[in-house]
Amino acid sequence: MSTLEPPRPDDRYQRQRLFAPLGSEGDARLRKSHVLVVGCGALGSHAAELLARAGVGNLALVDRDVVEWSNLHRQTGFTEADARAETPKAVATAEHLRRVNSGIHVQAEVADFNARNARRLAKGADLILDGTDNLPTRFLINDLSLSTDTPWVYGGAIGDQAHAQLYLPGQGPCLRCLLPELPPAGSVATCDTAGVIGPAPAAAASYEVSLALRTLAEGREGTRELAGMWIRLGLWDVSASISHVKPDPQCPACAGGHRDFLDGGSGEASTVLCGRGAIQILPAVASQDRVFDLDALAGRLSEVGQVDRQRFLIRFRPTAGASEHGTPRITVFRDGRAIVEGARDETVARSLYDRYIGR
């Protein structure tokens, strides 16, 4: 029989407490912190795990998508079983993190992060961490940050490139000082067109979490000089650069006070999902507070196609010949949101939603 004493719970964070810039006081602040992670894909899954292992006390995870096979080469915490079951990413990430650290609180929300729910999802957050894959959502986070006076960390990865940036409301620039308006559709490379290697999102997420931990531990005064610092890494050619974005006195958001993406109403009814070859359909504004009865919907859809009822969703294929658009697959969530795979364009996807799900 071993005479060794079992490890004590406080040993978990011993090595990071020994890091002088953090220390015991900073470590204790992490335990009391609340971080909202928007997106649990390549960036968000890596970042959420680093935050959990650092002992950030409360993590709120939000993601609209499910795990698929093409995620597994770069997104941590997911397994082949998650891909087979098409488990919602927020749920799979939360379940993984609870096994990693039982001493923190992890909450998962399977939802599209949009203007209608952003304030609710960010309530109580000390910091927002970007794990998204599109600029409109990042512009929304930027508006939310300015409106609620909440720091946020921006991250991105494409090809072999990784970048990260910290934004502190009222101290330094905001995202729209760097990008005043959304670029034209199709003008920005995506993972669909440029691909991505696994180390890129891992590196971006590591920088994001480093900025987040320092902000949570030291407060805004301790990270003021980092606000707007733009960190860019090239993983394949082993390059790095840092530049400083200055506040723009003509910025429509932080200088002009416009919250175009937060106060802009319902937002788009459909969104092309990066890397999925799929289109997301949002229900009408009036139905956002409604929770779909998935059992009843499954029963209705079973009359016109193949239905796979899962714990959090329904997967549905119309019977052969039921649609002039072929046999797409429609995944429906409890909030009425749907992901349509196999549709030619957004108009076709919305038509399929109206036909089978309804508004």
Q: Is 122 within 8 Å of 129 (Cβ atoms)? A: no
Which residues contact residue 314 at a Cβ distance below 8 angstroms, ignoring those fewer than 6 apart?
Answer: 294, 297, 298, 301, 307, 308, 331, 332
Tokens representing residue 199 in the block: 């180390």
Print burial letters for 11-41: b (CB count within 10 Å at least 16), e (below 16). Answer: eebeebbeeeebeeebbebbeebbbbbbbbb
Question: In Å, how far are 15, 24, 115, 350 from 137, measured between CA atoms?
Answer: 36, 35, 9, 21
What is 142-167 written as a DSSP string? HHHHHHHT--EEEEEEEBTEEEEEEE
Tokens representing residue 46 in the block: 């890596």
Which residues contact residue 166 at a Cβ distance below 8 angstroms, ignoring those fewer than 6 apart?
Answer: 151, 152, 153, 154, 211, 215, 223, 226, 227, 228, 229
Low-confidence spans in the chain with pLDDT less than 50: 1, 185-186, 266-268, 285-288, 320-325
For residue 49, give the H/E element and its range.
helix 42-53
Task: Give the predicted TM-score (pTM) of the model.
Answer: 0.81
Separation between Cα atoms, residue 274 and residue 193, nearest integer Å: 9
Domains and CATH numbers, the chain: 12-244 (3.40.50.720), 270-356 (3.30.310)
Q: For residue 334, which of 268, 280, 288 has the smallest C-alpha distance?
A: 288
Separation between Cα atoms, residue 233 and residue 202, nearest integer Å: 11
Q: What is residue 37's predicted lDDT score, i.e. its pLDDT? A: 98
- Residue reference for tokens 């390059």: 239
- Tens of pLDDT, residue by residue over 2-27, are 555 655 666 899 999 999 999 999 99
Q: What is residue 149's predicted lDDT score, i.e. its pLDDT? A: 97
- Tens of pLDDT, residue by residue over 134-187, are 888 899 999 999 999 999 999 999 999 999 999 999 999 999 999 999 876 445
| Per-residue DSSP letter, 175 | H
Burial class (CB in 10 A: 0-12, 13-18, 19+), 300: middle
Q: What is residue 346's predicted lDDT score, i.e. its pLDDT? A: 78
For residue 22, give the H/E element and its range.
none
Q: Is 150 within 8 Å of 126 (Cβ atoms)? A: yes
Separation between Cα atoms, residue 212 and residue 164, nearest integer Å: 11
Q: What is residue 303's predicted lDDT score, i.e. its pLDDT? A: 83
| Helix 199-223 vs helix 42-53: crossing angle, to nearest 10 | 50
Q: What is residue 193's predicted lDDT score, i.e. its pLDDT? A: 56
Q: What is residue 323's predicted lDDT score, i.e. its pLDDT? A: 42
